[in-house]
Structure 1
Amino acid sequence: MSSIYFTEEHELFRASFKDFLHKEVVPHIEKWEKTGTIERFIWKKFGEMGFFGLSYPEAYGGMNLDLFYTVVFLEELQKIHSSGFAAAMWAHAYLAMTHLNAEGSERIKQDYLAPSIAGEKIGALCITEPFGGSDVAGMKTTAVKQGDTYVINGSKTFITNGVYADYYVVAAKTSPEKGNKGISIFLMDTNTPGVSATKLDKLGWRASDTAEIAFDNVVIPATNLMGEEGKGFPYIMQHFALERLIMAINAHARAEYALDYTIDYMSKREAFGTTINKFQALRHTLVNHATDVEHCKIFNYAATARLNQGEYVVKEATMAKLKSTKVADETIYSCLQMLGGYGYMEEYPLARLLRDSRLGPIGGGTSEILREILSKMIIDQKDYQPAVK
């Protein structure tokens, strides 16, 4: 572990969090993977231990710690054999809650951010729409102001925590004629009349609930507008840097887990009178992947350090996600191959890990979209800027 980024306190937190996960989470993982439902008690335990409040202000129950505590949180969650469980935790803590903290009013922070940090309320971020995908500016969901309320109509899809959340952070168009300058962000209780959620059946991330959500004349108070009307698009873009870095860190961590598991397996599996870790073809393949993963990890740490200092690292975060998710898929694919027939068996971790990892190049902006963003920045010299506060 690089001492440039991680202090003794970070490593003490890592040891404590790892111990917590193996005692409180791992015994339930197989049940949650089968049912697709993460029981509420674990959210409360995460809250009691302060794990949801690592980067949030002390005024709302957080600890206001640097982003490398978040890195530790993300890395260890990738090593307990359920990226779906990990996704439910970090989507709550770093997608929904990020908007509450950045754009929420004091009332919203007291009523939603503080209980979210405590694990008493679960949040979901609702941006992606059916047929919309990464085209945020093309969203169809509308919010029409009527007196002291907004009436919301439309739909969202692929929403992590969408079925069991207590509240949604919803992007909707308040001025459709203005394109991406007409998007606003709202807070919505999930039990509001007109809200319905349908659970989706996925290839991987089986433990997390992922939903398609419909809004049919949903009426919310005008005070549930977050930030300024019409500023939703820059708010979303600003937070995408953190989301993409999170997905990059997840990727290098699960790839590292796959390598560690495979190295251990190879040291015990015998063929032709020796353990298979002595075969040059396997050794060289493995170290090539280990080199790629280490490169990603160091790049991701460097980008995190810059984000932690307040820099706008949209290019670096986009590069990090693009490269790390590709490397993770390639690494896990090879690791499964090295286990032979056992890699294809569900009782070994590589089969699930391969399915879970496949979402990496899709979620949070597909690799194709990321390449287009980078093309605009590198070739066309487009300069993306953070939202003006």
Structure 2
Amino acid sequence: MTVMTVLKHKPDALRGLFGEYAGEIRRNALPLHNGDIAVEELAASVDPRLLRAGFPPEFNDDPMTVNGKPVHMRSFAEFVVAQEELAWADAGFLLSLPWSSMSTYLIEVLFDPQERDEFYATVAHKPRWVFFAVTEPAHGSDPLGMETTLSADGDSFRLNGTKRYIGNGARGFVGFVFCRRAGATGPLGIEAVRVRAGADGFDAEQLHTIGLRGAGLSELRFDNVKVTEDDIIGRRHSSVRRGFHGAVTTFDLFRPGVGAMALGIARAAYDYVRGERRNPGPVDAATLESLNDRIHSVRALIHGAARSIDAGKGNGSLSSAAKVAAVRLAEDSTRTLLRMLGPTARFDHPLMDKFDRDARGFEFMEGMSDIQRQRIAQGFLSRRFWPSEEPAP
């Protein structure tokens, strides 16, 4: 089950809409990266309609529009277009935005209707950050290796453990933390719990990173943090549907979005060098042409994965293929294009240096490439890689 609907607007129209924000975002890219402007300050200056993109229509009474029609971003096919365009402007900015799209699945599918409405009402009209905490220092985002534990304590529970590389973790007013019930083994022992900033025993520290600095990657530490029964996400659903299933499903759903962000960086680097090298030699011209071809083919793969999810046919393999291809493209293109600008390119072209730094971060989001290749292989072996009803892009 997905949380979004069919594509409402043509991709080119959406590309133009989000491209309208690109100039202002790009102007702030290096100041945000260098720490000269605070994320909170930047968020306060952004069009509120952009911050509410993806909200249910009933909580977004003033949405963005295309040709006079509202854009509510309720399909993954729309989502990946927006991700690519905003990442083209600045992926760090995109990841710094208030609200967390990765939390959508939990909120839409596992929250009770009243909880869902209360949550959206809280975040709809004021910039608020929400974190989604799975990754741990020793086991990455592998839910089965999770060491953060939830232990019974009378009529409540206690949360203990550490999460690392959590986007907006130190900014979040609330977050969803994945953990294992004490003594439980296997996937059915995984739970997702709600933790609020300022809770006793909860400490968050922003980490220094070489790229994607706007994302505010953080380390979160939980020392006997109290969790009530009401804070357990999806508590009225079976253990098969919540916890582990919630984490894996969220990664599968939003992996094409990670690919779209990586693609946006690759395209940004390509466009930058084309602007700097208007008359490249034969070798460089051939390299640029090859990269341009890859940009278009990877975009088609990402959009195919997104359409499959919208059609209810997504099985994870196609999403994994989209992410692997996009990450490789982002890394290859930024490295190659930097060399094309000469040995002092990082000093002479700080924006290209930033693109290259940012491109390295996507390998670690939603599972590394070796894990994704296993998912791809499983899809091929089980003949489920490409849904028969979904035409190849």
TM class, shorter-length: 0.7 to 0.9
The structural deviation recorded for 1:291 is 1.4
3-state secondary structure, aligned to 1:79:
helix
The structural deviation recorded for 1:310 is 2.2
The structural deviation recorded for 1:166 is 0.7
CA separation of 1:21 and 1:165: change in aligned 2, threshold 3 A? farther
* Corresponding residue of 1:157: 164
Q: TM-score, normalised by structure 2?
A: 0.84
CA separation of 1:218 and 1:96: change in aligned 2, threshold 3 A? same
Aligned: 1:60 with 2:68? no
CA separation of 1:36 and 1:241: change in aligned 2, threshold 3 A? farther
* Corresponding residue of 1:354: 356
Amino-acid identity (%): 20
The structural deviation recorded for 1:263 is 1.4
The structural deviation recorded for 1:305 is 1.3
Q: Which amino acid is the alignment partner of residue 257 of structure 1?
A: A
* Corresponding residue of 1:100: 107
- Cα distance in 1 for residues equivalent to 2:142 and 2:208: 23
3-state secondary structure, aligned to 1:288:
helix
* Corresponding residue of 2:82: 73
3-state secondary structure, aligned to 1:170:
strand
Q: Which amino acid is the alignment partner of residue 73 of structure 1?
A: A
- Which segment is superposed worse, 368-377 or 52-61? 52-61
- Cα distance in 1 for residues equivalent to 2:47 and 2:233: 24
**Of 84, 97, 102, which residue of structure 1 is paired with 2:92?**
84
**Residues 47-75 of structure 1: per-residue CA shift (max 9 Å, x gap):** 721x3443342233383633333223211
**Residues 166-218 of structure 1: per-residue CA shift (max 9 Å, x gap):** 11111011254232210011111111111001221112112221111100111
3-state secondary structure, aligned to 1:359:
helix
* Corresponding residue of 1:314: 316
3-state secondary structure, aligned to 1:178:
coil
- Which segment is superposed worse, 33-42 or 114-123? 33-42
Aligned: 1:220 with 2:219? no
* Corresponding residue of 1:284: 286
Matches within 5 A, 1:200-349: 200-227=207-234, 228=237, 230=239, 231-267=242-278, 275=279, 277=280, 279-345=281-347, 347-349=349-351
Q: Which amino acid is the alignment partner of residue 217 of structure 2?
A: T
**Unaligned 5+ residue runs, structure 1?**
268-274, 384-389
- Cα distance in 2 for residues equivalent to 1:148 and 1:187: 17
- Which segment is superposed worse, 96-105 or 184-193? 96-105
**Unaligned 5+ residue runs, structure 2?**
1-5, 62-71, 386-393
* Corresponding residue of 2:131: 124
**Residues 64-88 of structure 1: per-residue CA shift (max 9 Å, x gap):** 63333322321121122x3222222
CA separation of 1:206 and 1:195: change in aligned 2, threshold 3 A? same
The structural deviation recorded for 1:109 is 1.8
* Corresponding residue of 2:21: 20
What is the total number of aligned residue pairs between the two structures?
Answer: 366
The question of whether the paired residues in 2 share the 8 Å contact of 1:37 and 1:208 is answered with: no
RMSD after superposition: 2.7
* Corresponding residue of 2:65: none
CA separation of 1:247 and 1:8: change in aligned 2, threshold 3 A? closer
- Cα distance in 1 for residues equivalent to 2:383 and 2:26: 47
**Of 99, 105, 110, which residue of structure 1 is paired with 2:117?**
110
Q: TM-score, normalised by structure 1?
A: 0.85
- Cα distance in 1 for residues equivalent to 2:120 and 2:265: 29
Q: Which amino acid is the alignment partner of residue 161 of structure 1?
A: N
3-state secondary structure, aligned to 1:198:
strand
Q: Which amino acid is the alignment partner of residue 87 of structure 1?
A: L
The structural deviation recorded for 1:34 is 2.1
Aligned: 1:48 with 2:55? no
